[in-house]
């Protein structure tokens, strides 16, 4: 997986940009390619998502990791492919998008190209309540749960979610973990010991 590319914008067109890094030009599809158009002497960082299918190998690029995470979440919704996810993100209104999903506002979601009533309902069904971890600092007032600053315990809990543990399972071990002062790795090891019993 390519995490990011640091380089110079060599070319911009309506669908993609070309980032030059060490003499190699990477074709990167972005939500709004012209937002990357700047002085060609200025080095930029593009956070990338590598999309692989039988007949497709493509790089998608974003200004922030949050934007990339939201793109990844959108791809998990049945009926939304990379092109549709880019179109949704191109508006640049990430806050409105998340608010619409949380409020089950399918009328707003249907305004995006390629999103009909069925896809809008699927987005709400698949993503409601699951975007806090993706964009926590962008929406501090949107969620009822307090958002903790990054610390070893919250990082460990995120890692457990990434490993596939359900929120219900994780909450069972949180009281035990809170009694300890450990590193992120230490919390993960302890949690796994408890979860695997």
For residues 18-46, give the mean pLDDT. 89
CATH number of the domain at 65-127, please? Answer: 1.10.150.20
pLDDT number for residue 92: 66
Rounded percentage of the chain residues whose pLDDT exceeds 70: 89
Report whether pLDDT(187) > 90: no
pLDDT number for residue 60: 96
Task: Tell me if the pTM is above 0.85.
Answer: no
pLDDT number for residue 146: 40
CATH architecture type of domain 4-62: Beta Barrel (2.40)
Q: Angle CA(10)–CA(13)–CA(15) in degrees, nearest 5?
A: 120
Q: How confident is the model at residue 135 (pLDDT cuts 50, 70, 90)?
A: low
Rounded percentage of the chain residues whose pLDDT exceeds 90: 38
Q: How confident is the model at residue 120 (pLDDT cuts 50, 70, 90)?
A: very high
Q: How confident is the model at residue 50 (pLDDT cuts 50, 70, 90)?
A: very high
- Alpha carbon distances (Å) from 170 to 16, 128, 190: 40, 19, 12
Q: List, in sequence order, every residue forming a beta bridge with 7; answer none if it has no partner.
A: 44
Helices (H), the chain: 65-75, 82-90, 94-102, 106-109, 117-127, 152-162, 167-178, 184-195
């Amino acid at each position: 997986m390519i995490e990011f590319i640091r380089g110079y914008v060599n070319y911009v067109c309506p669908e993609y940009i070309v980032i030059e890094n060490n003499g190699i030009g990477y074709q990167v599809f972005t939500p709004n390619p012209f937002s990357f158009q700047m002085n060609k002497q200025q080095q930029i960082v593009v956070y990338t998502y590598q999309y692989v299918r039988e007949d497709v190998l493509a790089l998608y690029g974003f200004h922030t990791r949050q934007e990339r995470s939201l793109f990844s979440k959108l791809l998990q919704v049945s009926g939304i492919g990379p092109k549709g996810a880019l179109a949704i993100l191109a508006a640049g209104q990430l806050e409105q998008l998340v608010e619409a999903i949380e409020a089950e506002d399918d009328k707003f979601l249907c305004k995006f190209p390629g999103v009909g009533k069925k896809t809008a309902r699927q987005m709400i069904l698949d993503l409601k309540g699951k975007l806090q971890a993706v964009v926590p600092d962008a929406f501090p007032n949107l969620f009822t749960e307090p958002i903790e600053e990054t610390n070893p315990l919250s990082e460990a809990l995120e890692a457990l979610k990434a490993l596939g543990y359900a929120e219900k399972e994780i909450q069972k071990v949180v009281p035990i973990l809170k009694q300890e002062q450990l590193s992120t790795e230490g919390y993960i090891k302890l949690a796994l010991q408890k979860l695997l019993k």
